[in-house]
Amino acid sequence: MIEMKDVYKQYSNGVMAANGFNVHIKQGEFVYVVGPSGAGKSTFIKMMYREERPTKGDIIVNSINLAKLKTSRVPYLRRNVGVVFQDFKLLPSLTIYENIAFALEVIEEHPKQIKKRVMEVLDLVGLKHKARMLPNELSGGEQQRVSIARSIVNTPKLVIADEPTGNLDPETSWDIMNILEDISNRGTTVIMATHNREIVNTIKHRVIAIENGRIVRDEQRGDYGYES
């Protein structure tokens, strides 16, 4: 599903955020990415959906080498990759339904199929009854559920979640994790960058730890491994 081969990423300020990443992630795995702030987690995540391009090395996602992918082809890549952000990134002037439908409209999906699929994912995240509301009428946890629904409306093979519980209270964070677990159980690969020690230690999955731009630990059913 995902393979990184000798991946390096150096920014223009000289920071080496990826120093020889070598990773293989199978279809259907749930993987936590942990490490101190500034360790390289966000770079690791962003390179998987071509928000960042590696300085050197190969990143293969769904048989596509992102290091060699033309910029004009990036939107096509992202049709098969769902991304969940810490700050939701919902369009404030659109309803919840419209926010999710937009992802299908841009690929010219049939209107009947759009309605059917949007209501399916809203039902999955428990927000079918709030389809006509605006983002600012929802709580933070509800907005994150909409973000997740939007990320999976195209039925992607890969969902990347960058600190999806970072701005949420503990109870809401568990609700979000239950949704991500459900998505994973349906066969979708989930990669989640997180600082949430309790979640990582409670819901066991593979853990990749990054420090100073290097992968220092890669364990099946690993622990968070850092002090809170």
pLDDT tens string 187-212: 999 999 999 999 999 999 999 999 99
pLDDT tens string 13-25: 999 999 999 999 9
Measured from the Cβ of residue 169, the count of other Cβ atoms closer than 10 Å reads 12
Residue 227 lies in a domain: no
The number of distinct structural domains making up the chain is: 1
Residue 187 lies in a domain: yes
Residue 150 lies in a domain: yes
Angle CA 104–108–110, to nearest 5? 85
**Cβ–Cβ under 8 Å, residues 122 and 95:** no
Residue 125 lies in a domain: yes
pLDDT tens string 43-63: 999 999 999 999 999 999 989
Residue 95 lies in a domain: yes
Residue 225 lies in a domain: no
Nearest Cα to 82, choosing from 32, 148, 140, 178?
148
Residue 224 lies in a domain: no
Nearest Cα to 192, choosing from 29, 32, 1?
32
- Kindly report the pTM of this predicted structure: 0.92
Q: So what's the pLDDT on residue 228?
A: 52
Provide the CATH number for the domain around residue 10: 3.40.50.300
Nearest Cα to 160, choosing from 99, 71, 69, 86?
86
pLDDT of 180 over the 90 cut: yes
State the pLDDT confidence band at 75, using cuts at 50, 70 and 90.
confident
State the pLDDT confidence band at 3, using cuts at 50, 70 and 90.
very high
Residue 18 lies in a domain: yes
Q: So what's the pLDDT on residue 125?
A: 94
Which residue range(s) make up the domain with 79?
2-219
